[in-house]
Structure 1
Amino acid sequence: MISVKNVLVALAVAFTAYLAARGLWWTAPVAYPLVVVATLGLYLATTWLCIFWEPARPEVEGEDEPHIGDPNRTRGRLPVPAQILALAAAVIVPSAISFGVGPASVTAGFATWYLGGIGALMTIVMVRRRPWTAWAGVAILTVGSMLWMGVPAALALGLVGSIVWVTCAQLLVGSLDRAARDTARLAQLQRAASAWQASQSGRQRERRVQVQHALAVAGPVLTRTVATGGRLTDDDRLEARLAEGRLRDEMRGPRLLDDEVRAELERARRRGANVTVLDEGGLEGLDEGSLSIIRAQLAEALRSASSDRLYIRTSPDARVAVTVVGRSPSVGGPSDEDGVDLWREIPHPGVA
């Protein structure tokens, strides 16, 4: 499969092989050819190892998700052993090549290839996100080449180009990292915007459903009220009060309601009880089966209730799902305050 990475790897291999091949194009006798050939082999082995060595990493769930501030920077980092080999090559290759070709040929073309070769190696190290190692290698190359061929010759024959390569590689890697961070941040903002839009759409649909339900419940009562000019009978007033209670229940505690619970709430109101239903959280994340169990227990509690005032509230407690409290006027008590004659805690399903 052809990809940008594969193309860059092929170019790096070809370029470093070309630089090393220049070291075999001897235009003059060399003092120690075996030293030169062995050094070329060391250079190629080290360079290609730095290109291809990908450390084994354990797979982590969710690792492919982008993270702001850390756009997979650890991926592709050069392992420490390869860094050590790269620095060793920066130390050994200039001296070994200069020694192998002899003092008379240290500035010849087949002897100065290492200026570009080590520069290319440190560029690879920089691309593999090891900047300190890359610049340390450049410093070693600078010192070694100047000691063997002198400052003017080293600068004129390729040292400046190697420094420029490494500098450009660092700027390019930094730009790519910033682009990756910006992309990750943009992706997170897009996900947040999509989630917000989805929640708004859900709320709009819920409001439309509630409006339609309100019209269905209150519409007949309002129609009769308008038709009679506000002169309602006792039965009409009762129906209006029941309609108001049903609307309040649908708006304040829709997750607590099913047909059985609605019927028990209406029965309690018809006998004159004042019923308050409030969903104050704690039921988020429950599946429909768990909600059905809670509703069934709530309907049972309401069926046996005879209090004048009923308060039904959800609970944020991890153990209790719904609390049902009933209050009625105390008979013969020391005060006129209502007394609690019903207290029922409905636990979450599966909680003892």
Structure 2
Amino acid sequence: MISVRTVLVTLAVAFTAYLAARGLWWTAAPAYPLVVVIALGLYLVTTWLCVFWEPTPPAPHPEAGDDPPLTIGSRGPATLPLSASILAIVSAVLVPTSIAVGVGPDNRTALFATWYLGGIGALMTIVMVRRRPWFAWAGIVVLAIASIAWMGPVDALSLGLVGSIVWVGVAQLLLISMDRAARDTARLAQLQRAASAWQASQTGRQRERRVQVQRALAVAGPILTRTVATTGLLDDREKLEARIAEGALRDEMRGPRLLDDDVRTELDSARRRGATVTVLDEGGLDGLDETSLALIRAQLAETLRASTSDRLYIRTSPDDRVAVTVVGRSAAGPGLSDEDAVELWREIAHP
């Protein structure tokens, strides 16, 4: 399949070759034919170098700051090497003067002598497309000075100078529009990815909330049904079950990432022996995979299984080293401060 780039390069080569061929269609004998041929050769070599010369790796774009345009390189025209840009300016200086001298004073407004107005304009258009705007406009200024000097302002403007200026201006506008469209497309793609990620996270949260609701109904459903049936008149065993169900619900809301079946079993056992348990997830477990969370939960379940404290505080830690801190306290005896009543301190490290 023929690419758009191949089509554009072919058109550029064909058009510049046509303009150069006009310079050989002599309707009158030039004063210095060799000078005309050398100027044509310099023009063709310079133009085709500007079309085909690709920097390796792509040169940075000096006018755009640190970040190259989104359409540069493989996604668009790469920046023209500096040496080729300078050669284009040299051609813009030498070709008009060489042609004017080579054809002689009597032929300077003839069709075969004015081809360089379009030829240099096409060359500067290529330079503009290759992301060298300052060089392109400098070449147009040089062309304007040379053509006006050799044939006068009226003839220069009427025979092609205006068209060359328009070509370069339109090329710059198209390049700016292309870069802006590429930036907008990239921004739109980024927003689309962010929206997809947000939607995925919301879907995950909804699924997690459904699981929590189902678990809450499984935990608290029977005691709530019993409470409604007895209009709140519960016996001591049922009141204990209600307190345990309340604690389990708080665990599910405050620290779901700390919980698995083993941890839930040990929390239930601690509450049934009369301990007060507080579970808080205050961050620090974000980004951990299920394997790491399973290791942390296993150590937490082991710690709870061995504890005999009256009050247990389980908190996640934002510390880079510690994942979970478990503190156990019991009622202070005579002569002991509240700080002395800490009988369990366990820091579960990140796997």
User: Is residue 41 of structure 1 aligned with residue 49 of structure 2?
Assistant: no
C-alpha deviation, 1:337, in angstroms: 7.3
Correspondence for 1:64? none
Correspondence for 2:324? 322
Correspondence for 1:66? none
Task: Provide the C-alpha distance between the structure 1 equivalents of 2:185 and 2:310, rounded to a whole number of angstroms.
Answer: 61
User: Is residue 267 of structure 1 aligned with residue 276 of structure 2?
Assistant: no
Correspondence for 1:203? 205
Q: How does the TM-score come out when normalised to structure 1? A: 0.92
C-alpha deviation, 1:139, in angstroms: 0.3
Deviates more, 1:102-111 or 1:72-81: 72-81
Out of 279, 282, 288, the residue aligned to residue 281 of structure 2 is: 279
Q: CA RMSD in A?
A: 1.7
Correspondence for 1:63? none
C-alpha deviation, 1:144, in angstroms: 1.0
Cα offsets for 1:18-60 (capped at 9, x unmatched) = 00110111111112222222221211111111112221227xx
Task: Provide the C-alpha distance between the structure 2 equivalents of 1:272 and 1:258, rounded to a whole number of angstroms.
Answer: 21
C-alpha deviation, 1:74, in angstroms: 4.2
C-alpha deviation, 1:225, in angstroms: 1.3
Correspondence for 2:70? 72
Out of 123, 126, 131, the residue aligned to residue 124 of structure 1 is: 126
Amino acid at match of 1:20: A
C-alpha deviation, 1:104, in angstroms: 2.0
Correspondence for 1:290? 292
Deviates more, 1:178-187 or 1:334-343: 334-343
Task: Provide the C-alpha distance between the structure 2 equivalents of 1:335 and 1:178, rounded to a whole number of angstroms.
Answer: 70
- Which 4+ runs in 1 deviate beyond 6 A? none
% same residue = 75
Task: Provide the C-alpha distance between the structure 2 equivalents of 1:39 and 1:49, rounded to a whole number of angstroms.
Answer: 15
Q: How does the TM-score come out when normalised to structure 2? A: 0.92
Correspondence for 2:15? 15
The answer as to whether partners of 1:106 and 1:149 remain within 8 angstroms in 2 is: yes
Correspondence for 2:343? 341
Gaps of 5+ in 1: 59-68
The answer as to whether partners of 2:70 and 2:183 remain within 8 angstroms in 1 is: no
The answer as to whether partners of 1:23 and 1:110 remain within 8 angstroms in 2 is: yes
Instruction: Quickly say closer, same or farther: Cα 1:229–1:337, change in 2 above 3 A.
Output: farther
User: Is residue 53 of structure 1 aligned with residue 53 of structure 2?
Assistant: yes
Task: Provide the C-alpha distance between the structure 2 equivalents of 1:71 and 1:312, rounded to a whole number of angstroms.
Answer: 52
Correspondence for 2:5? 5
Cα offsets for 1:238-268 (capped at 9, x unmatched) = 1111111111112211211122111111111
Secondary structure of 2:49's match? helix
User: Is residue 155 of structure 1 aligned with residue 157 of structure 2?
Assistant: yes
Correspondence for 2:63? none
Alignment of 1:165-180 (within 5 A): 165-180=167-182
C-alpha deviation, 1:71, in angstroms: 4.4
Correspondence for 1:183? 185
C-alpha deviation, 1:122, in angstroms: 0.6
Cα offsets for 1:276-325 (capped at 9, x unmatched) = 11111111121222112111111121112111111111111110011001
Correspondence for 1:65? none
Aligned residues: 339
Secondary structure of 1:110's match? helix
